[in-house]
């Protein structure tokens, strides 16, 4: 019944590895997002997709590549992981009219790069 689900919940990996985080929503929303929350709890948008099309791409290293196979899924692939990538990554979704309804967030993926 989870509205926005992310896997895995925890991810510990070594520097230089490539990893993926998956996100799925069952709310019928047409827009999905990735946010990064750093160690000071600051939340910053990374990407946004609307109906599988990239609409927001903030200043993010090109080692990060989102992929949206359909409007219910938005995955995040990270190449050549660095220590500074350690953070909690949140997936969220909204209707295109999300300005009025707000976002629904997943419970986050805590990535630790060692």
Partner 1 sequence: AQSVTQLGSHVSVSEGALVLLRCNYSSSVPPYLFWYVQYPNQGLQLLLKYTSAATLVKGINGFEAEFKKSETSFHLTKPSAHMSDAAEYFCAVTSKAAGNKLTFGGGTRVLVKP
Residue numbers at the binding site for partner 1 (CB under 8 A)? 4, 31, 40-45, 48, 55-56, 90, 92, 94, 96, 98-100, 102-108
Dihedral sign for Cα atoms in the order 55, 23, 78, 41: positive
Cβ of residue 4: shortest distance to partner 1, in angstroms? 8
| 98 sits in which H/E element | helix 98-101
CB 81 within 8 Å of CB 19: yes
- Which residue lies nearer to partner 1 by CB, 15 or 43? 43
- Which residue lies nearer to partner 1 by CB, 17 or 101? 101
Round to the nearest angstrom and report the end-to-end CA distance of the chain.
Answer: 34
- Which residue lies nearer to partner 1 by CB, 21 or 92? 92
Cβ of residue 16: shortest distance to partner 1, in angstroms? 27
């Amino acid at each position: 019944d989870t509205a926005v689900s992310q896997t895995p919940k925890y991810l510990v990996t070594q520097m230089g590895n490539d990893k993926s985080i998956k996100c799925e929503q069952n709310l019928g929303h047409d827009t999905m997002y990735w946010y990064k929350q750093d160690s000071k709890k600051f939340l910053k948008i990374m990407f946004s997709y609307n109906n599988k099309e990239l609409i927001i791409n903030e200043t993010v290293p090109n080692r990060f590549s989102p992929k949206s196979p359909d409007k219910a899924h938005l995955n995040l692939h990270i190449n050549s992981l660095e220590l500074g990538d350690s953070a909690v990554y949140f997936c969220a979704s909204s209707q295109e009219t999300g300005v009025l309804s707000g976002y629904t967030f997943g419970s986050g993926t805590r990535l630790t790069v060692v």
